[in-house]
Amino acid sequence: MESQVRGGTRWKRFAVVMVPSVAAAAAIGVGLAQGALAASFSVSGQEFKVSAGHLEGTGFAQYGGIDSGYTTTEGKEKTVHPVAISSFKNAKITNMCQSVKTEIPLIGKTFYLRLEAGPDANHKVEAKNLYIDVAQLDADATFKNIDIGVAVKDQTKGPAVKSGENALPGGFAQQADSADLKGVKQTAWATTAGTFKLSGLKMRLGADSKLECF
């Protein structure tokens, strides 16, 4: 691994760039349970997969948080999910794939929904103020002018921490002028964006497990 306090930092095949500490996650979870923190929305009881050939982002920040959601698709019980929130002021994505696996108990079958967009360099997915609540991430990544160990409330390079993100103000964060990720494979609980342009969008639904992105 090659690392500099200022300048470019390359992390080869990193898995979850930054994982929120157990103490921070527990503290946020207690706050949610007591009603001290408001969740932006309840996430479903299903993680989804996202892959990308190339993600180019500017104005990057990442910090720990908690998503409040349901334990199953029936939506009968609530739970919390510790996540690493990756945010970008601007992002361009090539060869993006998103898939979700859904089991239908009533008919005893499993279905897969697959979305594809940004097929080539001339038709990229474009997003502004993008937030991804990540559970697991693998990629080859290069960061420019990275700061590691910034307090969440003092990060200035990424989008502002949104109301309802459930991040501890004094918690651990990192930020960079830009982030360049290749060979991205991640599972996530939620994605939000100010704008999300999907060039060359394709959607497929079926029972074939090959529809999953990876």
Q: Do 141 and 10 form a contact (C-beta atoms < 8 A)?
A: yes
CA distance 208 to 118: 23
Proportion of the chain above pLDDT 70, given as a percent: 79
User: What average pLDDT does the segment 110-133 reach?
Assistant: 95
Pairwise CA distance, residues 85 & 63, whole Å: 5
Q: Which two tokens stand for residue 62?
A: 């990442």
Residue 14's nearest CA partner among 95, 165, 134 is 134
Q: What is the mean pLDDT of the chain?
A: 84
Please state the rounded mean pLDDT for residues 127-132.
95
Residue written as token pair 């080539």: 120
The secondary structure of residue 133, as a DSSP letter, is E
- pLDDT tier at 139, thresholds 50, 70, 90: very high
**Spatial separation of the C-alpha atoms in residues 193 and 176, rounded to whole Å:** 19
pLDDT digits (tens, 9 = 90+) for 53-112: 999 999 999 998 888 888 877 778 888 888 999 999 999 999 999 999 998 877 888 999
Angle, alpha carbons 205-52-129 (nearest 5°)? 100
37 pLDDT above the threshold of 50:
no
Burial of 26 (0-12, 13-18, 19+ CB in 10 A): middle
Q: How far is CA 7 from the centre of its chain?
A: 24
Helix (H) or strand (E) holding 167: none
Identify which has the larger pLDDT, 97 or 11: 97
Indicate whether 21 pLDDT > 50: no
Confirm if 199 and 124 have CB atoms less than 8 A apart: yes
Q: In this model, does residue 31 exceed pLDDT 60?
A: no
Given a cut of 90, whether residue 177 has pLDDT beyond it is: yes
Q: Which residue ranges make up each domain of the chain?
A: 8-45+56-94+118-194
Cβ density class 80-116: b for 16+ within 10 Å, e for less: bbbbbbbbbbbbbbbbbbbbbeeeeeeeeeeebbbbb
pLDDT, residue 165, reads 65
